[in-house]
Chains A and B, each alone.
Chain A
Amino acid sequence: MSALLEVSGVTKSFDGFKAIDNLSLSVNEPELRAIIGPNGAGKTTFMDLVTGKTRPDSGTIRYGELSRDLTAMSEAQIARAGIGRKFQKPTVFEDQTVLENLTMALAAPRNPLNVLLRRPDRSARAAAVAEEVGLEKDLNKRAGILSHGQKQWLEIGMLLAQEPRLLLVDEPAAGMTTAERERTTAMLVEAAKTRAVVVIEHDMEFVRRLKCRVTVLHEGRSLAEGSLDHVCADPRVIDVYLGRPEEADA
């Protein structure tokens, strides 16, 4: 087990407001890690920083055996290096079919010339992923007409199709039914057997079922880290969650 992602001393401010404040964090491979924290804690911003959507003001983000500096790479390069991301608000290509969405995500060469000229039939691979996320009957449906939960599935499917080494999953269970949540949990736990998976989640019950190491984020800083029971016993964490009764007693 070695560190796959090494975030050290990263700060990012928006108009003077520190969304991420001297944050250090490392994720191993394989590992399942949950990040929790109140609204505006900087959870999504953390993912933006790792995936190259925003650039840190200071600090370094290193990845892989070669410790490549992610802050110097483009979003597409980071993605090709093996970091996949699921967004908080499901973002799939609504105008395209489930199959087309998955095919675009499948691990395969991505340079324009290759994509244009070489067209092997990858539909079996895409269908296999669709089966994993329970969309095998909807392959030819336009993604736009899927239900909210199904769009979440599709995006998770796209993430799996990329075959990334590090999965960043932002609130995967939002808007899902209890049964769907259970399936999502199982899938993330399964994926984390061979890869690094970082899950952002609000729902404590969901996090509890993941049975993994938890990082509590607050005002851009890492407040506590450890098992869920350990961090929930931390007085600072209780402080932060005070006034949110359903979580204060968790």
Chain B
Amino acid sequence: MSVESLDIAPRARRPLAARTDVIAMMLGLATLTVCVTLLAQMGLVSVSFVKLLGKTLCLCLAALALDLVWGFTGILSLGHFAFFGIGGYAIGMWLMWDRTEAIVAASLAQSTLPPTPFEIREAIGTQIFGVVGTSEIPWLWAYAGSLPLQLAFAVLVPGLIAGIFGWLAFRSRVAGVYLSILTQAGTLALSLWLFQNDSGLRGNNGLSGLQNIPGLTDVPQSVISIWFLWASAIALALSYLGASWTVSGRFGSVLRGIRDNEARVRFLGYEVEHYKLAVFTGTAMLCGLAGALYYPQAGIVNPAEIAPIASIYLVVWVAIGGRGRLYGAVIGAAVVSLASSWFTGGGAPDIELGFYTIKWTDWWLVLLGLSFVLVTLYAPKGLGGLVDIYTHKRARRREDLGPDQGSLRGEEEQP
């Protein structure tokens, strides 16, 4: 038998369009957005529900990014939600600035003398920074009036920070738990800095009113929420395709190799640090994009969003969903964050035990913590592992039959 005639059709080499999880994800997202759009037009779902779904898709996108960096490459980052927050701040600055500028211009237009640009700037400064007791416009806001620039910053600033951090950390071979602690410390430092009034980002007030999109004041929120749902779904779909492509083939092999035994990868001639840096930076940028889509739907971004605990939640979602498989991260983030809103939003009925009442608003975190521990101990494949059980059952029916090995499969896989 010649080498060329060997039947080689492993999972990894199959084109993306033929992979079940990719197809399922695309169909699922399309169905979700179309159905919700129709239901919303019929008035059957509320604006806040549409926004909840849109926000959830953004969280799924962040989880996808974390899965790439942790589940596939083995870098447990406890700071990726900070990049998400930075993306939110970057877009929030433009949203606040542009809307305030419109309001200020309208009110100053009433006066007898037309306002000078200087007066407009000063009025914007007072409007935005009055809450932190200043009217001076911080240097950070230099380009706040430009949507393209702030959009670029939403992605580039996380990329720059991750790039510098990663370059320093990976170059000195900081790995494992030490790296996790470093990312967590960095996140804490960032949130503490943001809490300060003189950070230039309105301290603990954060940026608010972000749901009001400048120039679209006539468009009702019911329509804007649908637009953002679509944008979030498209971003998630494209990122899922990109991520699937990234983790397939030799690049994916190298990433998983780094996760399982990075020294061995080095001896094969791959510069492990470069790969880590690329993934760390790329996923940080993806988180920035997710944040830029999330916060206009949430309406407000403040330093509490960047607090270390948020990044830990992200890890919990991916762990419960099943790390190392992309659909696991998406399922985990969707299920856990929706469950979280349901439990903490008073959706779950309290349980009367006679001597004690379980209030889910208080007990949800305990339940979440417990699930995390149980999944880690007993079901490391997470919710995504359930998919395996199903596909294995099907695969068994397709197994090679008899001594003429591969003939059945060979027939089936003919196009």
Residues on A with C-beta less than 8 A from B249 are 119
List 18 other contacts, CB 8 Å, given A104-B254, A139-B8: A51-B267, A53-B267, A74-B266, A74-B271, A85-B267, A93-B257, A94-B260, A95-B256, A97-B12, A100-B12, A103-B253, A111-B271, A112-B271, A112-B278, A136-B3, A136-B6, A158-B268, A162-B269
Measured CA separation A128–B6 after assembly (Å):
10
Report whether A127 and B8 are in contact in the complex, using a CB–CB cutoff of 8 Å.
yes
Collect the chain B residues with CB atoms within 8 Å of residue A136's CB: 3, 6
A99 and B3 alpha carbons, distance in the complex (Å): 13
**A100-B253, A116-B246, A140-B10 known; A131-B3 Cβ under 8 A:** yes
Find out whether the CB atom of B3 lies under 8 angstroms from the CB atom of A79: no
Residues of B within 8 A of A94 (CB): 260
* Cβ–Cβ contact B275 & A112, under 8 A: yes
Q: When A93-B264, A100-B253 are in contact, do A79 and B8 touch as well, CB less than 8 Å? A: no
Kindly list chain A residues whose C-beta atoms are within 8 Å of the C-beta of B257: 93, 96, 104
A79 & B268 in contact (Cβ 8 Å cutoff)? yes
Set of chain B residues within 8 Å of A79, measured between Cβ atoms: 266-269
Who on chain B is nearest to A106 by CB?
B250
Q: Can you spell out 13 A-B residue pairs with CB atoms less than 8 angstroms apart?
A: A76-B267, A85-B267, A93-B264, A94-B260, A95-B256, A95-B260, A96-B253, A104-B250, A108-B250, A110-B269, A110-B270, A111-B271, A121-B13
B284 to chain A, nearest CB (A): 16
Would B272 and A115 count as touching, CB distance under 8 A? no
Q: Bound complex: CA of A116 vs CA of B260, how far in Å?
A: 20
A105 contacts across to B, CB distance below 8 A: 268
Residue A2 at the chain B interface, CB threshold 8 Å? no
> Which of B246, B253, B275 is most buried by chain A, counting CB atoms within 10 A of its CB?
B253
What range describes how many residues of B lie at the interface?
Answer: 20 to 34
Which residues of B sit under 8 angstroms from A84, Cβ to Cβ?
267
A-B contact count (CB 8 A): 95
* Residues in B neighbouring A51, C-beta threshold 8 A: 267
Bound together, the chains give a CA A75 to CA B266 distance in angstroms of 6
Kindly state whether residue A55 has any CB partner on chain B within 8 Å: no
In the complex, what distance in Å separates the CA atom of A155 from the CA atom of B253? 16
- What's the dominant secondary structure at chain B's contact region? helix
Contact residue among A76, A93, A101 (Cβ-Cβ distance under 8 Å from B270): A76
Contact status B263-A76, CB under 8 Å: no
Residues of A within 8 A of B (CB): 51, 53, 74-76, 79-80, 84-85, 87, 91, 93-97, 99-101, 103-105, 108, 110-112, 115-116, 119, 121, 123-124, 127-128, 131, 136, 139-140, 158, 162
Q: How far is the CA of A63 from the CA of B375 in the complex (A)?
A: 50
Is B4's beta carbon under 8 Å from chain A? yes
Q: How far is the CB of A5 from chain B (nearest CB, A)?
A: 16
Q: Which residue of A lies closest to B270 (CB)?
A: A110
Query: Which A residues are in CB contact (< 8 Å) with B246?
Result: 116
**For B246, B256, B265, B267, which residue has the most chain A Cβ atoms within 10 angstroms?**
B267
Complex Cα–Cα for A115 and B254 (A): 9
| Bound-complex Cα distance A213 to B103 (A) | 88
Q: Which of B251, B264, B266, B267 contacts A115 (CB 8 A)?
A: B251
- Enumerate chain A residues within 8 angstroms of B263, measured Cβ to Cβ: 53, 75
Q: Does B261 reach chain A (CB closer than 8 Å)?
A: yes
Q: Contacts of A91 on B, CB cut-off 8 Å?
A: 261, 264
B274 touches A (CB below 8 Å): yes
Contact A93–B260 (Cβ < 8 Å): yes
CB proximity of B323 to chain A, nearest CB, Å = 13
Complex-state Cα separation, A140 to B13, whole angstroms: 11
Q: Closest approach, in angstroms, between the C-beta of A111 and any C-beta of chain B?
A: 7
Instruction: Tell me, in angstroms, the Cα distance from A124 to B268 when the chains sit together.
Output: 20
Contact B8–A123 (Cβ < 8 Å): yes
What are the residues of chain A within 8 A of B251 when measuring CB–CB? Answer: 112, 115-116
Q: Please indicate the chain A residues that have their CB under 8 angstroms from the CB of B270 in the complex.
A: 76, 104, 110
Given A97-B10, A100-B10; A115-B268 close (CB under 8 Å): no
Query: Measured between C-beta atoms, what is the minimum distance from A228 to chain B in Å?
Result: 29
Interface residues as binary, B231-255 with A (CB distance below 8 Å gives 1, 0 otherwise): 0000000000000001001110110
Min distance, Cβ B159 to any Cβ of chain A, angstroms: 15
Chain B min CB distance to A130 (Å): 9
Contact with A along B1-35 (1 / 0, CB 8 A): 00110101110110000000000000000000000
CB–CB B256/A93 < 8 A: yes
CA distance A87 to B266 in the complex (A): 13
Q: Which of chain A's residues has its CB closest to B269's CB?
A: A79
In-complex Cβ contact of B268 among A96, A104, A127 (8 A): A104
List chain B residues, Cβ under 8 A from A75: 263, 266-267
Closest 10 pairs between A and B when the two form their complex, measured CB to CB: A79-B269, A75-B266, A80-B269, A116-B251, A123-B8, A76-B271, A100-B253, A128-B3, A104-B253, A140-B10
